[in-house]
Amino acid sequence: MLGSAFEADDAVQETMLRAWKAAEGFEGRSSLRSWLYRIATNVCLDALRGEKRRALPMDLGPASPPLESYLRPQPAEDLWMTPIPDSRVVPDHGDPAEIAAVRDSVRLAFVTALQHLPPRQRAALILCEVLKLPATEAATVLNSTVASVNSALQRARTTLAGLPEHQRPGEVEPENAELLAKFVDAFQRYDMNALIGLLREDALQTMPPLEMWIQGASAITTWMMQPGPSACAGSLLIPVRANGVRAWAQYKPDPEQGGFVPWALQVHEVADGKISRMTFFLDVEQLFPLFGLRERIFDDR
């Protein structure tokens, strides 16, 4: 609902606090699950009242040429989507199909697309299509009618289907271990000839909180060889899981003090057997502690 791991933590705490205070008034006329979802939904709707939606750079303007001169001032940090560790949202054990469904529901492209919906349409879609509540139960959660819920669902689906292609979430593909291993090898060697063969021709690269984004495999690899980005040569990629997919903590070489320092949390998606979206989250001061990652890696690791 909120597009932010940090706001989600706050919302969970507020939900539990409200539930604790209201527990004596729970009369059992609905299931405990519906009652808690209703509180959580109201917490989220309150948080979204009057706020800008969270976004990724391609939601804000056209792609840029792969040149550092096109970098713009950074917008406010609270504008951006943030990734979330799988450990916060994906069960460790359970039915494999259910776990796969949870992973699909927290994919970065899907959660970003949801931000284009008005809050109550977003809530209806999540309740019915992610949490799989029947419309009657969703109507209870939203303090609404079944007809209103179905109408909200229809409008939400129409809005998502009408988004530009680069803003729509694509079909989910099984994790391709061979492709991801080739990506890690090519990136750590900073071999652009190898990397370009792993990217879809129309691949996207974003780097929040930088507003700039780049489209096209050739443009992405050209960008990576610009003076600033080329300092990533020799980086280490440490595997983590974020938003239902394999992701990486990127540590860049530190030429002054030695070793490697945090630079980005990379969360990518795959389509048609190649990497289609590359998101480099640069707010490492917040994100690396969230993922339990080290502040520095030394050469004797």
Ranges of each domain in the chain: 1-50+134-159, 57-116+163-301
Q: What would the pLDDT profile of 45-95 be if each residue is shown by its tens digit?
A: 999 987 667 889 888 889 999 999 888 767 666 688 999 999 999 888 888
Contact 240, 87 (CB under 8 A): no
Q: By C-alpha distance, which of 58, 61, 54 is closest to 202?
A: 58
Coil, helix or strand for 8? helix
Dmax over CA atoms of the chain, in Å, equals 65
Half-sphere exposure of 83 (CA within 13 A, CB side): 37
Ranges under pLDDT 70 in the chain = 51-52, 73, 75-78, 299-301
The pLDDT, as a whole number, for residue 76 is 66
Q: By C-alpha distance, which of 142, 119, 118, 125 is closest to 34?
A: 142
DSSP-assigned states of every residue in 42-95: HHHHHHHTTPPPPB-GGGTS----S-GGG------GGGB----BHHHHS-SSS-
According to CATH, the topology of domain 57-116+163-301 is Nuclear Transport Factor 2; Chain: A, (3.10.450)
* Whole-structure pTM value: 0.91
Q: What would the pLDDT profile of 22-41 be if each residue is shown by its tens digit?
A: 988 887 777 888 899 999 99
The CATH number of 1-50+134-159 is: 1.10.1740
Contact 203, 215 (CB under 8 A): yes
The pLDDT, as a whole number, for residue 100 is 87
User: How many C-beta neighbours within 10 Å does residue 198 have?
Assistant: 19
Q: How far apart are CA 211 and CA 43, in angstroms?
A: 29
Q: By C-alpha distance, which of 267, 157, 152 is closest to 207?
A: 267
